Structure 1
Amino acid sequence: MPQRPQRPCRASGCGALHRNANGYCDAHAECARSWATRKGSGRGGRPWRRLRVQILARDKYLCRCEECTRLGRLREADEVDHVVPLSRGGTDDPSNLRAINRDCHKAKTQRESRSVKK
């Protein structure tokens, strides 16, 4: 049976190649375990879906990103965003979550990933 192709590690700043199914090289394998067992994290599960619906309803399905809020722009929100990203110590607490438009969310995520690389 052929081997799985090598892929870069998912860990930030790590360029090591691996064949692990978890997406991380051997040096960062604990990242996969910590993500899967993160307390309060229900990514994709029923708890997260319930929280997502709660946040969207709380924010009246309107985008609450900085730009839309500053400009008074009304855009339909279809996603939930962490104000402080989990990667920077944020939590899934409702006070750290807000409704956001898909395009605004994509732009915010790109800005955050650019600022990490600097």
Structure 2
Amino acid sequence: MKDKYFTQIEILTNEILKGKINICDYTHYDQSDEFKYVFDYLSLSFSSQSQKYKIKNPLFFYSNYDSLNACDIKSDHYNIIVLNRGLILNLINEILENEDLIEFNTVFKIPKSI
């Protein structure tokens, strides 16, 4: 079964828009499981909220930028949320893997099956 993140990349056929987003392929990262986990969690939320507010063609990506930032892009065909790689790495390091937040983190633990 193909990963939803990479299926979304295939959906976005506009190469100029792809270049503007600078889409991140996280598969070679040490934290690839965490990137996938965060993507699955946030894209499910984005998808359900999009239905609730009638937002058409929602897509969600990571960019290759290291800053702690995000953006949204509205094109003729898509409504896109882009989170910078740096923001996700910060989330992983400061929240998901922070031993001081272990009690809080139990809600967000990555399942062993990943």
TM-score by length of 2: 0.27
- Bigger radius of gyration among the two: 1
Higher helix share: 2
Higher strand share: 2
TM-score by length of 1: 0.27
The structure showing larger relative contact order (alpha-carbon pairs under 8 Å, at least 6 residues apart) is 2
